[in-house]
Amino acid sequence: MAGAGRRQCLYVFLDEAGNFDFGATGTRHFAVASVALYRPFPFAAALDELRCDLVERGIELEYFHASEDAQSIRNRVFDVIVGALDALHIDCVIAEKAAVPVELQQVEHLYPWMLGCLLRWTLSQVDWPTVAEVIVITDRIPVKRKRRAVEKGIKLALAAMLPAETRYRVLHHDSKAWWGLQVADYANWAVYRKREKGDERSFDRIRSAVRVELNALQELERHASGRPKPPN
């Protein structure tokens, strides 16, 4: 992934899908995804127009959320995302929860591991001479224990991967504040829906921008064994 030749900010928007319930009523998978891109954000104006169109039709939608939006709205949001795919880099790490070792079935353990896997991959694709700063943005996290786990995973990966001269920041903002968080939510929902429900319709629309879907447990085994990552 390269910028336009000048040193600029790389924005990395993070999202999660699934839940942390490892019992019979929990989701089968847990997934984290990143959408990495540079300014200008190619979807911003179109999403703003779409939200205004909806408001003028009497649909007072404050922000877009894939799992909650009506299918007719989802279709239009995906239309916008598809129009911006050339600028998006979508990476995912997915865990089948039934296979997650007991010792990792806690927020403070699974989050740092999965986010570390995700960001190590995402950052390995960066052309660092063009990047002055990495800004990682997540949805606001109200639970302190979870927020600490997320920050640990992000900061460990950034510290290990970033050149010494490259700055970074980690922001926790409401998803309604950033179109990028809403796009990451839609992208992760499409990947998660494919894995959880076997429904590939939305994934097919963004497939060309999805660079990798890492299996979290395979990555864990590879890390433990010291085996190198296979070629893409």
Question: One digit per residue, pLDDT tens: the chain, 232 residues?
Answer: 544 456 899 999 999 999 989 999 999 999 999 999 999 999 999 999 999 999 999 999 999 999 999 999 999 999 999 999 999 999 999 999 999 999 889 988 888 889 999 999 999 999 999 999 999 999 998 888 899 999 999 999 999 999 999 999 999 999 999 999 999 999 999 999 999 999 999 999 999 999 999 998 888 777 655 544 433 4
pTM of the model: 0.91
Task: Specify the amino acid at residue 67.
Answer: S
Confirm whether 47 is domain-assigned.
Answer: yes
Query: Residue 73 domain-assigned?
Result: yes
- Does residue 232 lie in a domain region? no
**In contact, 98 and 120? CB cutoff 8 Å:** no
Residue 2 belongs to a domain: no
Helix axes 144-161, 107-124, angle to 10 degrees: 30
φ, ψ at 15 (rounded to 5°): -145, 155
Is 216 part of a structural domain of the chain?
yes
Tokens of 211: 């660079």
CATH of the domain at 105: 3.30.420.10
Are 95 and 217 contacting, i.e. CB atoms less than 8 angstroms apart?
Answer: yes
Residue 20, Cβ density class (10 Å: 0-12 exposed, 13-18 middle, ≥19 buried): middle
In sequence order, the β-bridge partners of residue 168 are: 134
> For tokens 């010792």, what's the residue?
103
Q: Could you list the residue range(s) of the whole structural domain that residue 175 is in?
A: 8-225
- Count of domains for the chain: 1
- Residue 198's φ and ψ, nearest 5 degrees, are 70, 20
Output phi, psi for 139, to 5 deg: -65, 155
Residue 118 falls within a domain, yes or no? Answer: yes
In a domain, 98, yes or no: yes
In a domain, 187, yes or no: yes
